[in-house]
Structure 1
């Protein structure tokens, strides 16, 4: 099979056969990047088989499945990370090599090492048409707001800094406070990365927003408020979640009026990020209090809809409801097909790289929980799947913190903080 050398560190190719992987090592390659989604055509080897072939050949392997219409900045950055982490030359492939070169080229342009006017000639020098890169950049630069996602692999969570490029104002959505359940240690590594991005880009934080009280990570909202002075907010139905969990925790001192946040948003509330309009949708189902933030042409849909290959969120937490989740999702899908959707988690199906951006149209077409599915079928599917899922490992830890806006328990007389959680209060044991 012919490979095309792009640089000393990167070569591209069309789809290789599995028998060729052993030869890649002999040719000096240390890693393979597969940029091709599974099942594009009959007889395609696919991700799982390629991963096995790469492992057998002693090659590192990364799966970044993209199409021209669905490529996101997360894919571009994942491609760059795969190259940076490889211990030698990388062979990247798709069907023809074009998408592999597209990911590389867009990264060069975004980082200022290549001018957009040079893209077509660059592609032609390798015999490939990169006109789709020109179109991608035009869409990228026209979007409002700008969205920077930060993925936390320990909790599979996605945090966002969402900014107005015209004013430099921004909001932070669903920030993570680091917690290691084995040692009990806490850290602000994730939150400090958000602050570093804000400082580097000279942004002004207007709001720190949570979409709901999270069950799988601690919220860094309180810490970020202390650092930035920006107000915190969540949906007004958080008071119902507080009342529910106050009983579960036997926690008489917990205030259940939502006063731990500076503002409680109701369905239909509006505000602005700089010059960009924001609208709040009440989106129950995953939790009683879940809300969606529609900011310009982007909607932050928390744990209602995952990426199309990941389906939808569970609805079996206390206060959850699969039928309500269906109706919340339909409200989101009633937005224009071009609306960008940003999810709160990505569990990386097929061990692909993390992704968090899709569109309404893409979800309608290709999410197997939604495309061509009726309400009753969705409820049956969701409830059946939820019965197989254990509770998140941090649910009893996290809600003690998140019901108080990200505040850790107060130190006791010895100066240490302690979490308390009930035994046998929830269904869904790991065994």
Structure 2
């Protein structure tokens, strides 16, 4: 066996954070973090090379120095992976209006105020100013989006109607551009009148629902503790009956341990849906109901693999998968779509709260020190640079992460947590999900 002594070979070795070995049922696959290449390992010399990368022991190996150099050069070669454009200046066409911080529910993990206590409502003048400011930028877009958020925006349907009529006049009639309207709601307050309004203006509606009845009603409750599931499902059915484009949003918590059953529930509704896991912070519940323990992680990871196996079978049999995040992530692998920042908060998108203050993201509203300015005066650029979604190369903890170019740095809001364990919790979920996506992609390659 040839002994290798050259320290110069280290430059041809991948760092452990630059690759991931994925085991499918039949083969081993290699994912390269920088180029996003993903391929089956069919040569024993690759496995030997990876062993050297892991151990940093280049003394005893059957590979020659030239073979190590050649393999390293090939695997470190940059590819023409598509990079999602990253521009740091503010030029927004996506406006989120937090029309009220009040809500008729009392969800345990939510920062909104429940009706019955003091809560704030956005004035029509504030909404007008936010729209005018968006249109007054140097860049004119062909299409704008206005997203009504809360709290529960359906509590202020009259205001929403005023804003929509104003936006139609300013954007469509006067500017000759297009406008889309979105609404985020808990789904409990729909009436024939509100449904007719949403249909007239071609709204896309996002309804928050956490799964089947027993699971949803753990956290998404009224002030008296009564669950909201049945009322939410009535609202979802009203949207479907009236052919209003809609999608669902789930928040999974430690009680959501049977992920397979939960995902099946959503798939059976035949509506697109997204999901996230509860992350504790000072403005949401810090109780055991929302904090994931070590045994919870293990159970979720095991269940997630079952979910991914079922998705693989659906795709194999040309059946639709309604989990939009799954499809988007699989496409990111297929088309090597590099993310240089996680989202458009404070870049192409901006949020206005009830008082008229600007924020990079609606989830930053509870963190009052992150306000960027006010609709009545200019945005403070120093604040925007501090709290907008960061470019990947500006986030120190992401530089040595295997999925850095897939997640783009994760959620800027969660980085506001002072608790290091909570920051690690966010990253741990992201890694678990991407590992399962890569596993699913490998199964699809084999099929």
Q: Would you say same fold, with TM above 0.5?
A: no
Query: Counting helix residues as a fraction of each chain, which structure ranks higher?
Result: 2
Q: Give the structure with higher Rg (CA).
A: 2
TM-score normalised according to structure 2 size: 0.29
